[in-house]
Chain A
Amino acid sequence: DGGITQSPKYLFRKEGQNVTLSCEQNLNHDAMYWYRQDPGQGLRLIYYSQIVNDFQKGDIAEGYSVSREKKESFPLTVTSAQKNPTAFYLCASSTLQGAANVLTFGAGSRLTVL
């Protein structure tokens, strides 16, 4: 079955540590995205990549970094510079359906900073 796999599902981090969230897709989609969900704030875009070896900052990129070395993979690193990293992180990839760019999401990773 085609889809998006995020790992780990739950992650705990001590303050000052960097952590990397994995995102792999086998949908053959060119574009991939990272969103963050906080209660009452919807989904906010962190980074996105339209093609391999290229990516753009979203609305809340500070304290995060990404890489896109392969079409299938778009890992997100939460650095110690991110002041409030506890959140639910969602990875997505997209394809055109008619006129709409439809995102397919993974199951998410919940990061908790202790």
Chain B
Amino acid sequence: DQQVKQNSPSLSVQEGRISILNCDYTNSMFDYFLWYKKYPAEGPTFLISISSIKDKNEDGRFTVFLNKSAKHLSLHIVPSQPGDSAVYFCAAGWGTSGSRLTFGEGTQLTVNP
């Protein structure tokens, strides 16, 4: 049972344009969501999170939107830069410290100069 899904395995955008990465979930118990970025042969690095009580969170070029009724979240990157080319994972969790995260399959973003 895939509780967190990223339906697009890859996305290609031009430098300077907006990148939109999407994620769907099925478990209503999730009360926070995170996005991670991963380069090949490295561990994922945390980008941004959002609590289920919010619908938007911004951090510089990165904005995460949450639509609870649709069980959908998205990550917007504006403007996209070639260094943003990586695999992006969304993750979801509930509970307090030490609780587990469930990850999506990942989306490979390529930003072309």
Name A's B-contacting residues (CB within 8 A).
4, 6, 30-31, 33, 35, 40-45, 48, 50-51, 58, 88, 90, 92, 94-108, 110
Query: Which residues in B have their C-beta under 8 angstroms from that of A97?
Result: 49
Contact B45 A48 (CB under 8 A): no
Contact B49 A108 (CB under 8 A): no
Contact A30 B97 (CB under 8 A): yes
Cβ distance A36 to chain B, nearest Cβ, rounded Å: 11
Instruction: Give a binary string over B22-41; 1 marks a CB under 8 Å from any A CB, 0 the rest.
Output: 00000000011110100001
Residue of A nearest to B45 (CB): A105
Cβ distance B103 to chain A, nearest Cβ, rounded Å: 4
Roughly how many angstroms separate A99 CA and B51 CA in the complex, as a whole number?
6
Roughly how many angstroms separate A48 CA and B33 CA in the complex, as a whole number?
19
Cβ distance A9 to chain B, nearest Cβ, rounded Å: 8
The 3 closest A-B pairs by CB, nearest first: A105-B43, A31-B98, A50-B98
Cβ distance B87 to chain A, nearest Cβ, rounded Å: 9
Contact A42 B105 (CB under 8 A): yes
Query: Which residues in B have their C-beta under 8 angstroms from that of A43?
Result: 44, 89, 91, 103
Residue of B nearest to A106 (CB): B43
Q: Which of B36, B100, B105 contacts A40 (CB 8 A)?
A: B105
Roughly how many angstroms separate A50 CA and B34 CA in the complex, as a whole number?
20
Contact B103 A94 (CB under 8 A): no
Is B95 an interface residue when CB atoms closer than 8 A count as contact?
yes
Chain B 30-76 interface residues, beta-carbon cutoff 8 Å to A: 31-34, 36, 41-46, 49, 51, 53
